[in-house]
Amino acid sequence: MKITVPTKIRWRKTITPDVLGSYSKKKRKRISQILEDETLHIQTSFEKLTEDHLRWFSPMYAETISQKENGVFHDVKETTLDNDKKTYYILTVTENSKPIGGTIFSIRKEAIGIAYRIYPNDWPMHTLAANPSLFSDYIITEYALSLGKEFISHGMDRNLYGVNSAIGLATFKMSVGYEPFIPFKPKYEEVDTANIDDSALIFHKPDGDDMKIKRATLLHKEDQVSSYKQLLTYLEAADISTTVENV
């Protein structure tokens, strides 16, 4: 099957007045566990980005990217502090006063624009149901609401997921309420699924002038279909018509 696809996917999350209520019941419970337990010594702060922040953030970023099969490394300092067109800020998440991850972002008229975010899979010193990525997403969404913003932009990824970007990345973004859009100046290519021999999530070119993506194809190996059950739920929740095929 041949599919016309955007080469990159833009992610956007609409801000609602009830931030906690915008998550699933299970996720609300997990986030609340951290918010209500003062003994955990987990703290968050928002500050203007400085070189002091990059001294711990940049090594975390470099290590994370180096572990990704198709990771693309960017010079964080060059694209943020050395960028005279934008001012960047950072959400720092600390555990027992030690930074364990952060989100670098800019503040726009109607939105917060996330440039970089790096968090470990689990808390270094605690076993908690809400991992740092989920918790930090809640914190920055609350912050966006406090600033009166309409949405959060979560950067752009390379389409196809599983080939150019991790399927897990798209799954996480959709799980916390982000929706896929084409870039404002999109580029397209034709993909032949017969040439793909591993699992892949493929977002299609929208019809007409629509910017929001409404169709996707999930390719999976026969023994992996159960692994994508949750992803298919998120795609359905985002009103995305999905074709599922074996590879």
pLDDT at 223 over 90: no
Quick one: pLDDT at residue 12?
Answer: 96
Q: What is the pLDDT of residues 81-115, one digit of tens each?
A: 999 899 999 999 999 999 999 999 999 999 999 99
Domain count, the chain: 1
Domain holding 108: CATH number?
3.40.630.30
What residues make up the domain containing 119? Answer: 2-246
To the question of pTM greater than 0.85 for the whole model, the response is yes
Quick one: pLDDT at residue 34?
Answer: 95
Tokens 């739920």 locate to: 233
Strand partners, 202: 217
Q: How far is Cα 180 from Cα 198, in angstroms, rounded to an integer?
A: 22
Percent residues over pLDDT 90 in the chain: 83
When mean pLDDT is compared across 179-188, 198-207, 223-232, the lowest value belongs to 223-232
Q: How far is Cα 115 from Cα 105, in angstroms, rounded to an integer?
A: 5
Q: What is the pLDDT of residues 144-170, one digit of tens each?
A: 999 999 999 998 999 999 999 999 999
Quick one: pLDDT at residue 69?
Answer: 65
Residues whose CB is less than 8 angstroms from the CB of residue 36 and which lie 6 or more positions away in sequence, other chains included: none
Burial of residue 121 (CB within 10 Å: 0-12, 13-18, 19+) is exposed
Predicted confidence band at 42 (pLDDT cuts at 50, 70, 90)? very high
Q: How far is Cα 100 from Cα 64, in angstroms, rounded to an integer?
A: 13
What rounded mean pLDDT belongs to the chain?
A: 93
Compute the radius of gyration of the chain from its Cα atoms: 18
Predicted confidence band at 137 (pLDDT cuts at 50, 70, 90)? very high
Predicted confidence band at 245 (pLDDT cuts at 50, 70, 90)? confident
Quick one: pLDDT at residue 157?
Answer: 94
Lookup: tokens for 104: 């670098």
* The one-letter amino acid at 179: E
Quick one: pLDDT at residue 77?
Answer: 95
Number of other residues whose CB lies within 10 A of the CB of residue 180: 25
Quick one: pLDDT at residue 198?
Answer: 87
